[in-house]
Amino acid sequence: MMVPISQAWTVATYVLKQKLAGRKRYPLVLMLEPLFRCNLACAGCGKIQYPAHILKAELSPEDCFRAVEECGTPMVSIPGGEPLLHPQMPEIVAGLVARKKYVYMCTNALLLKEKLHLFKPSKYLSFSVHLDGQKEHHDFAVCREGGHDIAMEGVRAAVAAGFRVTTNTTLFDGADPNSVRAHFDELMAAGVESMMVSPGYTYEKAPDQTHFLGKARSRRLFQAILSNRKKSWEFNTHPLFSEFLMGKRDFECTPWGMPTFSIFGWQKPCYLLQDGYADTFQELLDTTEWENYGAKSGNPRCANCMVHSGHEASAVDYNFGSLKGFLVTAKKYMFPSTYEDAHAMKLLNEWPKATHAPLVQIASPVKTAAELQEVSGD
């Protein structure tokens, strides 16, 4: 299934209004982080390395609604941490749906099956399940044996209950493109609406600093994965962003395209970097030195970034920035390409099979269901 027409129309008309109003910088998706605590401790994550009093803090529903209204975007992504640990998450989601915002609630799905009854299916709500690959690779990536099976149970339960379900796959050095493609087949067979795939980012606080991809390796990997694709695969990303990952296009980062609001306020400059905070969204736009970010700025922290939160908005802006951009994108949607590429197929066939060291299960702050409820206040 593709993204609902109503959602595509809402986003298109929103962007056109920004363009007609002459706004150079406008948000596309609000990254709303109501909490940082999680029931996983992934080695590549830089979002949970906070002291206990920070991990216990939460945004209230009113805080969330105020940020959404202030930002004005039609789409809201709710990452974390693990949003299902927030005791008022059903209220937050219901409030956003009532405001006709398209919500992607990101989750590792360890609690999805048991929490599903707290939500109502809606075209405005999608569970975006974090799955980093097939069973062995996902469990290794999240440092949790059995995590893949639990997450897939949650996916199937949500699909069976009539919810929109998408997935988010983050790739690091050592990813096996053949396994990733098999992973796509499994997700489509499970009934997910669409998939998103993106390279990981080198979070300064991440425990593992050795497995992040540089740009050259990212392009080689995504060329192997996304070329010669199956017609059955549906992606929840702009087609030009996929071409950017494959090395077919060059987009500069649009850090204001997916602004982040958390317990600290509006994060400068983007979801990935923490260079201070602003009290209001307008202050974020006015006081951030945007010229200091992006690959062309020379900022070493931006040199290898190809993450969707910085570059997919660039693809959308190109889409609506000129008649050429509009026609190019329209063609991509009307006549989707499978990107036949003999060199990429050769890469795929010759790619060495990935091997992992024994899985190291990093202890998370909470382990049992009772402990999860105690920490979340549920």
Per-residue pLDDT of the chain (378 residues), as tens digits, is 468 899 999 999 999 999 999 999 999 999 999 999 998 877 767 676 788 899 999 999 999 999 999 999 999 999 989 999 999 999 999 999 999 999 999 999 999 999 999 999 999 999 999 999 999 989 988 888 999 999 999 999 999 999 999 999 998 877 899 999 999 999 999 999 999 999 876 555 544 444 456 788 899 999 999 999 999 999 999 999 999 999 999 999 999 999 999 999 999 999 989 999 999 999 999 999 999 999 999 999 998 899 999 999 999 999 999 999 999 999 999 999 999 999 999 999 999 876 655 444 444 444 444 444 444 444
Element (H, E) at 145: none
Distance CA 291, CA 9 (A): 32
Distance CA 39, CA 197 (A): 22
This model's pTM is above 0.85 = yes
If phi > 0 it is left, if psi is from -120 to 50 it is alpha, else beta; for residue 265 that is: left
Asked whether the beta carbons of 329 and 240 are under 8 A apart, the reply is yes
Distance CA 319, CA 313 (A): 10
Distance CA 228, CA 264 (A): 44
Q: Where are the beta strands (DSSP E) in the chain?
A: 29-32, 75-78, 102-107, 125-130, 164-171, 194-199, 260-262, 265-269, 274-278
H helices, E strands: number in the chain: 15, 9
CA of residue 1 relative to chain centroid, distance? 19
CA of residue 195 relative to chain centroid, distance? 10
Distance CA 68, CA 61 (A): 11
Token pair for 114: 């048991």
Is the C-alpha dihedral spanning 65, 70, 76, 80 positive or negative?
A: negative
Asked whether the beta carbons of 114 and 157 are under 8 A apart, the reply is no
Can you state the angle between helices 147-160 and 135-142, rounded to 10 degrees?
110
Residue 40 has a pLDDT of 86
Residue 80 has a pLDDT of 83
CA distances, 26 to each of 23, 286, 374 (Å): 6, 12, 39
Please give the DSSP secondary-structure letter assigned to residue 84: G
Q: Which long-range contacts (CB under 8 A, 24 or more apart) does 98-101 make?
A: 99/65, 99/68, 99/69, 100/124, 101/68, 101/73, 101/74, 101/75, 101/76
Distance CA 22, CA 273 (A): 27
Distance CA 279, CA 264 (A): 9
Residue 371 has a pLDDT of 47
